[in-house]
Amino acid sequence: GRSAMAAVQDVEIDPEGTFKYILVRLQRPGGGEQRDIVRGTKAAEFHNHIFEKVNLEMEKLGYECKCIGGGKIEHNSKDKKIRVFGLSTAYGKADHSVTVEMLKKEYTDYEITWSDDKK
């Protein structure tokens, strides 16, 4: 029930560098509760690599996943800055403002910005 969804972290991104990220909507089959999560890592060459991994993890917990867009994250932990930008060719552009709100909850002492810039 609720505890499983609560156990899923809102945000999981690499601690440093510039990498692809996706916004994923989790839903209980048949409607029910839903929420969005942010996932990003340098290990992924393409956005769908991130999605495939998340999808597997979430299916085990009984969720249906839908990628609702992607982009890039530039994470500078030294200066405590995160920049969200770009888009995913496969999934389209995520709503970066949603991503930023979620990042702000996780990285409370960071300066976090977003733009529609490609680079």
Task: Report the length, in residues, of the chain.
Answer: 119
Query: Tens digit of pLDDT for each residue in 40-83?
Result: 999 999 999 999 999 999 999 889 999 999 999 999 999 999 99
Binding residues: 20
Has residue 84 been placed in a domain?
Answer: yes
Binding residues for substrate: 20
Q: Containing domain of residue 31, as a range?
A: 11-115
CATH code: domain of residue 17:
3.50.20.20
Has residue 5 been placed in a domain?
Answer: no
Has residue 79 been placed in a domain?
Answer: yes
pTM of the model: 0.92
Query: Tens digit of pLDDT for each residue in 12-45?
Result: 999 999 999 999 999 988 877 889 999 999 999 9
Has residue 1 been placed in a domain?
Answer: no
Q: What does the alpha-carbon distance between residue 54 and residue 39 come to, in Å, rounded to a whole number?
A: 8
Q: For the chain, how many structural domains are there in total? A: 1
The residues carrying an active-site annotation are: 47
Has residue 45 been placed in a domain?
Answer: yes
Has residue 70 been placed in a domain?
Answer: yes
Has residue 41 been placed in a domain?
Answer: yes
